[in-house]
Amino acid sequence: MTEPVNPNPNPNPNPNPNSLLNKTIQKISGAYAPATIRAYKEDFICFIAFCDEHSLSSLPAIPQAVCLFIKRLIAIGKSSAGIRRAICGLSSIHQLNSFTDVTAHPDVKLEMKRMHRQLGRYRKQAHPITWETLSKLIPENLESIRDYRDRALLLIAYDTLARRSELVSYQVNNLSTHTKGGNTYYHMRIRKSKTDQEGDGRIAHIRKLTYLATQEWIQQAQITEGFLFRGISRGNILLKSLGGGQVNRIYKRLAKSANLDQSIIDQISGHSMRVGAAQDLLTSGASMPMIMSRGRWSKTDTVMKYIENFTSPYEEIE
């Protein structure tokens, strides 16, 4: 007689969820973006704690546990996007450990539908840093190495529509020029991005103004290799790299120095530069395919979220 196939082939019938989670994180290291791995880990640690609190199994989990977890996330004020991220992580962790995807259960799908009906799918858009706003953020008087760094960072972020992860991963040798027909062109090589996890790379065109400002930063920082943008300590000591979370703080600090309204500063995030640059492209008459190419977007609906609050200057004419 043929033995029944075990739908959950994991050999350990009572696995330790924390141990399995750590092994899973090690397994996927390098295969997923660091931000994705960090999100998976943080969300699943919360799920383990929730299940322990209710004496429920977290790995593998039962549909009831996931449904209750969704309700808890709603109760503590998580956004619908944050809840979707958490459930996506639960799905991946289960599948990576050869467990049945509990999030595919009809009860879980129904709970997600209830969540979306209650919270909606809308994600609040970051305040756009358009060229008009950007010109106010650029330091007028370059008095410190930090000023040179901030000016170059702003211009590179705007010209390349850089995500935070892309911006902090740029290398000194990614900056290049070439001459054709008597004209000089300036480029930044994007080694890897959210939509290019295999690292095929893309070339982004930048303006001469941006190239020269970046070269000035390189000279002031006296760097010849490694990461292009670096953190700077309070003692003006140059660090080896710049964290993605620091980009948001730099934007907000410069906005505060430019005396922007606090309500605007509160809405500025690491996405603000991409939102503003995309809206400026739309104003200039760029087509949707052109905007998608410049911003390395693979889905039209994603771009539409960036430009949904855009108001054409022509629309203001009565």
For the chain, domains (ranges, CATH) are 17-119 (1.10.150.130), 131-316 (1.10.443.10)
For residue 86, give every residue at least 6 positions away whose Cβ sits within 8 Å of its Cβ, in sequence order, or none.
Answer: 43, 46, 47, 69, 73, 78
pLDDT for position 295: 83
Helices (H) and strands (E) in the chain, counts: 14, 3
pLDDT at 193 over 60: no
How many CA atoms, within 13 angstroms, populate the side-chain half-sphere of residue 30?
2
Quick one: average pLDDT of 75-91? Answer: 92
Quick one: average pLDDT of 278-282? Answer: 88
pLDDT for position 8: 46
pLDDT at 279 over 80: yes
Which stretch of 20-24, 91-95, 190-194, 246-250 has the lowest confidence by average pLDDT? 190-194
**How much is the pTM?**
0.68
Quick one: average pLDDT of 124-142? Answer: 88
pLDDT for position 260: 94
* Alpha helices, H only, 177-243: 208-221
Place of tokens 């994007």: 190
**pLDDT tens across 25-71, in order?**
999 888 887 878 888 999 999 999 999 999 999 999 999 999 999 99
**pLDDT tens across 138-188, in order?**
988 898 999 999 999 999 999 999 888 899 999 999 999 989 888 999 999
The count of other CB atoms within 10 Å of the CB of residue 166 is 24
Query: Is 202 or 15 the better-scoring residue by pLDDT?
Result: 202
Per-chain mean pLDDT for the chain:
86
pLDDT for position 206: 94
Query: Is 244 or 106 the better-scoring residue by pLDDT?
Result: 106
Report d(CA 184, CA 237) in Å as an integer. Answer: 34
9 falls in which pLDDT band (50, 70, 90)?
very low
Q: What percentage of the chain reaches a pLDDT higher than 70?
A: 86
Place of tokens 């690491």: 270
pLDDT at 217 over 70: yes
Report d(CA 192, CA 23) in Å as an integer. Answer: 26
pLDDT for position 194: 55
pLDDT at 123 over 50: yes
pLDDT for position 139: 86
pLDDT at 316 over 60: no
Q: Which helix (H) or strand (E) holds 53?
A: helix 34-53
pLDDT at 261 over 90: yes
Sheet holding 183-190, edge to edge: 175-180, 183-190, 202-206
pLDDT at 314 over 50: no
Q: What percentage of the chain reaches a pLDDT higher than 90?
A: 58
pLDDT at 198 over 80: no
Quick one: average pLDDT of 9-24? Answer: 74
